[in-house]
Amino acid sequence: MFVGHYAAGLALKKVEKRASLGVLFLGVQFVDILFFPFVLLGIERINIIENFTDATHFELEYMPYTHSLVASLFWAVLVYALFRWVIVKQKGIALVVALAVFSHWVLDFLVHTPDLPIWKDASTKLGLGLWNSAIATYTLEALFLLAALWLYLRSTTAKSTLGKYGMAVFVVVLLLVNIVNVFGPLQGDSKVVLAVSALASYFLFAGVAFWLDKTRS
Ligand SMILES: [Zn+2]
């Protein structure tokens, strides 16, 4: 799952308004932000295979340290501890950022073909496999994102014209980007290009979310 993860960020902002939306957007992609450098370092493995599923060109072969259930819980607890006792020292914020980190696994579980391990044991891998239908994948991500946008807009107030329309336009842009992501052809077989473009989009989208959130209160 790609843009659908941001639904968790927008929804958690409603739960804890003091949390930064930019931080929540990084939180929901935290394990992917670790995954791509891990791939380049040879710690985890992805294989680029054209049309591996209807919605992706990737076989996610080995990723226990980022996408296993145990690792996801570990990262969420670690992030909780950092925000609770080091960064903001605020329980509510620490909790929603940790939930954002763990939400990644839950949403990935819906779409991934069984490639999410419990821990390192390769014989038990989970995933409901919505990726076998590109239309179903796209629809689910779009519904999540639109529902979360609605929650976010209802729980915040615009401070300017940009504040009034900015976040909705941003969500439309994310949905357009996801058309290419879900239905588009293979963009090339370079893992470096894949990793760099994925990481760039995660930080860019978090930056835009941070900026647009400042236009609402
Ligand atoms: Zn992921």
pLDDT, tens digit, 9 for 90 and up, residues 124-148: 999 999 999 999 999 999 999 999 9
Query: Residue ranges of the domains in the chain?
Result: 5-213
- pLDDT mean across residues, the chain: 97
DSSP summary character for residue 54: S
* Mean pLDDT computed over 207-215: 97
Question: How far, in Å, from the CA of 159 to the mean position of ligand 1?
Answer: 34
pLDDT at 117: 96
Question: How far, in Å, from the CA of 26 to the mean position of ligand 1?
Answer: 12
pLDDT at 122: 82
Q: Band of the pLDDT at 121, cuts 50, 70, 90?
A: confident
pLDDT at 162: 96
User: Tokens in use for 93?
Assistant: 């914020």
Question: How far, in Å, from the CA of 60 to the mean position of ligand 1?
Answer: 10
* CA–CA separation, 103 and 117 (whole Å): 16
User: Tokens in use for 28?
Assistant: 């929901």
* Mean pLDDT computed over 89-111: 98
Query: What residues are paired with 158 via a beta bridge?
Result: 216
* Mean pLDDT computed over 40-57: 97
Residue 95 has pLDDT above 90, yes or no: yes
Question: How far, in Å, from the CA of 1 to the mean position of ligand 1?
Answer: 7
Question: How far, in Å, from the CA of 3 to the mean position of ligand 1?
Answer: 11
Q: pLDDT tens-digit profile of 162-190? A: 999 999 999 999 999 999 999 999 999 99
Question: How far, in Å, from the CA of 216 to the mean position of ligand 1?
Answer: 29
* Mean pLDDT computed over 17-46: 98
Cβ-Cβ contacts under 8 Å for 178 (sequence gap 6 or more): 2, 3, 4, 138, 141, 142
Q: How many CB atoms lie within 10 A of CB 179?
A: 12
